[in-house]
Structure 1
Amino acid sequence: MEYILTEASPVSFDNTEIAFSYKSNLDLRKTYWLFKSINYPFLTNIGTKVVKIALKLKLPIHGVLKHTLFQQFCGGETIADCTDTIQMLASHNVKTILDYSVEVKKTEEGFEHTTEETLRVIEAAQHTPDMPFCAFKMTGIMQFELMARVQAGQSLSAEQEAAFNRGKARLERLCEAAYQADVGIFIDGEESWIQEVIDSLANEMMQRYNQKKVIVYNTYQMYRHEMLDNLKKAYRQAVTHQYHLGVKLVRGAYMEKERDRAQEQGYTDPIQPNKEATDEDYNRALLYCLNHKQRISLCSGSHNEYSNYYLTMLMEKHSVKPSDPRIYFAQLYGMSDNISFNLSRTGYNVAKYLPYGPLEAVMPYLFRRAEENTSVRGQSSRELTMVSQEMKRRKRN
């Protein structure tokens, strides 16, 4: 395969002492038991259902949740609550991508609330060097169904047209604020049947705000088989219109939903045939970005060890310094600390996605994290193995 390099990576992800240096023995044990529970799909499914029922019945389980799932994967309930975690990460040379991970009501008031909260994140990032980016979803500021209609080529009523324009105006407010604050802003990837609309809007924002450097980043979900071609098309468009391309690479988050819908509606499944094909395209996308680094700034959002190794090798081959601001590595807070902290210790630009929001409002996010760790092959087992190794190392010492 053309993207493979044989040189040794300049970094190792095996050092658990570095990976968990920020955790006390108590926190490490809590993490161990959390991932041990998640490692059993049956327990995760039952536990998720029980928690949902308990929350609906308003049973007193907030304390338990706050000191388990919430503490593992979230920074706090407000921006201010996240300060200690941001500072802790910064002390290990890890930056923060603060993400308001609340599924708000899909109303104009809800969209305005998300917009205002994201503006507050941008303002906080402007005054915090350890927060180089913020992130949001288009479905947090505009109706999903509206974007689906536009992508499907369906006509909009005057009221729908006005609602679409209001959503676009919110996007422009966020990108303008990020531009003025000199803060990178990630537009997260979503379902394929609205993604073309998101891509079009993202490209429009990049043409406006990425003239001198990258402020706006679009997300490319590489588990879709056409995504590498989409990345190349976006690059050609950036060259044509003379702006810089912001690229956030991820593998993807909607596989089952995508496949179910494709089967129900009888169109070609947009998802790669297997994980190997996804990995291959992800690494080819890394290679493409490095080959076009004069116009592309990249955030590689990956928990895959080889992809992270591979990017470090590409950077070395291209004589790109680990601290080059055009290249960032990113992982979710509470996961893959062996990757994040070992990369940062070696001088690479690393950021953690740090979700926050009121506990009950972020529970859908936390349920997804638990399900993801259960369903992604080996994810919870890998986390559990790394934590176990560190516990044994501390016991020996």
Structure 2
Amino acid sequence: MEKKPAFSFDNLETAFAHLSDKALKKTRNLFRLMHYPVLVKTGLWLSKLAFTLGMPVKGFIKKIVFHQFCGGETIASCRPVMASLDRFGVKSVLDYSIEGKKEEAKLMAVAEEIERTIAEAEKNAHLAFAVFKVSGIADTELLQKVQEQKQLSEAEKQSFLRARDRFMSLCDQAAQRKVRLLVDGEESWFQEIIDQWVQDAMRTHNKEGAIVFNTFQMYRKDMLRRLKDARHDAVAQGYFLGVKLVRGAYMEKERANAEHRGEEDPIHPTKQATDEAYNEALKFCIDNKQRVSLVSGSHNEWSNALLAELVDLHGLSRSDERIYFSQLYGMSDPISFNLAKAGFNVVKYLPYGPIKEVLPYLSRRVDENSGISGQASKELQRINQELRRRKSLPKLPTIA
């Protein structure tokens, strides 16, 4: 049996090989700043206000934070980033990070841009998937109203049908182009509508393999059961289940909403409980690999190491197209690049869009990275270690 290469997330030379000293120092400065979350959040709030007032702050945001977490403002501007990542074995997923619109024209415009990302994924070998959020193409308040089975006006009924048509059209185009399409997770008060749409699309398009993928947010107490129910439906209806696993992105909002409604907290009570649910979901997906294709969206080293171990224990090729590891661009490079060098399938979510429009996305990245105990602390520690390692390397002799 061929021996598979070992890997370690502590291999910082591999983790940061794609970054020059200058780029690495710039990243270090940003993560240092994130140790002061009030300062960073105030800066982003002021930036949003400045945009509203028409002040010239675009260049400042672009230089300080945008390029750390986003690929560019357009698909074309992201292509050099995609090519750079692919040189180190890491594929990309173009993520048009616009959401929360209500006007029909703006929702249609977002859908048209997502169509362009699907077309790009068909022809660009650096891209492994396309992705979108339903909140970018549908009025989420209307989706919530439908989920709560409230009375709709005739105009609202027509708006809902148009949103569903936009969703299904994107899935149809992905299937026609043979591009795998990830549907991102959202808040629970309209997620059930999304789940139904995705299930309908899977039943249509996933007959020969997983094209459409749904997202399962494992911080929810009911999600492992929902995952198993989804697999049961796939078996019963004769299609392949596309699964993207994440821990979840809306914990505070979910808990506040449940408290407001007088309902039970839907989120696991501890991080450990969420971690255990996530890892159980990984095992379930690999145990059911004949029916399930998996994208594991995690920045947790324990979970990534577990999935890598499961792939090897099940005797699978590390390049099996049914299994992908995924992290966000600008974060967790020791995980992404070490897994890729070891032969696993790895993708980076590469957000893009006009700077003014992606501020909500940047704010979420700042939130999850901020503070002494946040993601930034570990990122900063490893960046400093790599800069020290590079500094200690013997200097090459110069030719006079």
TM range (shorter): over 0.9
Match of 2:246 in 1: 250
Amino acid at match of 1:222: M
1:10–1:312 Cα contact (<8 Å) kept: no
Q: Greater shift after overlay, 59-68 or 81-90?
A: 59-68
Deviation of the 1:372 alpha carbon: 1.4
Structure 1 position 369 matched with structure 2 position 358: no
RMSD: 1.5
Structure 1 position 133 matched with structure 2 position 129: yes
Amino acid at match of 2:325: F
Unaligned runs of 5+ in 2: 394-400
Structure 1 position 309 matched with structure 2 position 309: no
Q: 2: distance between equivalents of 1:96 and 1:178?
A: 16
Match of 1:260 in 2: 256
Deviation of the 1:176 alpha carbon: 0.8
Report Cα offsets for 1:160-195 as digits up to 9, x if no partner.
Answer: 221111111111110011011111111110001111
Match of 2:167 in 1: 171
1:286–1:311 Cα contact (<8 Å) kept: yes
Pick one of 311, 316, 320 that aligns with 1:324: 320
Report Cα offsets for 1:191-227 as digits up to 9, x if no partner.
Answer: 0111111111111100000000000000000011100
Pick one of 113, 116, 120 that aligns with 1:120: 116
Match of 2:383 in 1: 387
Deviation of the 1:9 alpha carbon: 10
2:101–2:135 Cα contact (<8 Å) kept: no
Report Cα offsets for 1:39-74 as digits up to 9, x if no partner.
Answer: 222322332233233333333322221122111011
Match of 1:346 in 2: 342
Structure 1 position 19 matched with structure 2 position 2: no
Deviation of the 1:254 alpha carbon: 0.5
Match of 1:45 in 2: 41
Structure 1 position 355 matched with structure 2 position 354: no
Match of 1:209 in 2: 205
Match of 1:110 in 2: 106
Counterparts of 1:135-214 in structure 2, within 5 Å, are: 135-214=131-210
2:245–2:278 Cα contact (<8 Å) kept: yes
Deviation of the 1:376 alpha carbon: 9.7
1:104–1:110 Cα contact (<8 Å) kept: no
1:102–1:362 Cα contact (<8 Å) kept: yes
Match of 1:294 in 2: 290
2:41–2:366 Cα contact (<8 Å) kept: no
Report Cα offsets for 1:368-395 as digits up to 9, x if no partner.
Answer: 1111111695311011111111111111
Q: Greater shift after overlay, 74-83 or 367-376?
A: 367-376
Pick one of 237, 241, 253 that aligns with 1:241: 237
Match of 2:226 in 1: 230
Identity %: 49
Q: TM-score, normalised by structure 2?
A: 0.95
1:209–1:216 Cα contact (<8 Å) kept: yes
Deviation of the 1:248 alpha carbon: 0.2
1:74–1:333 Cα contact (<8 Å) kept: yes
Q: 2: distance between equivalents of 1:152 and 1:42?
A: 37
Q: 2: distance between equivalents of 1:120 and 1:277?
A: 39
Pick one of 33, 36, 40 that aligns with 2:32: 36
Q: 1: distance between equivalents of 2:49 and 2:157?
A: 39
Number of corresponding residues: 390
Report Cα offsets for 1:119-154 as digits up to 9, x if no partner.
Answer: 000111100122121111111111112211221122
Q: 2: distance between equivalents of 1:89 and 1:228?
A: 33
Deviation of the 1:104 alpha carbon: 5.9
Structure 1 runs (4+) deviating above 4 angstroms are: none
Q: 2: distance between equivalents of 1:105 and 1:42?
A: 27
Q: TM-score, normalised by structure 1?
A: 0.95
Q: 1: distance between equivalents of 2:6 and 2:307?
A: 10
Unaligned runs of 5+ in 1: 1-7
Amino acid at match of 2:376: S
Q: 2: distance between equivalents of 1:282 and 1:86?
A: 29
Match of 1:79 in 2: 75
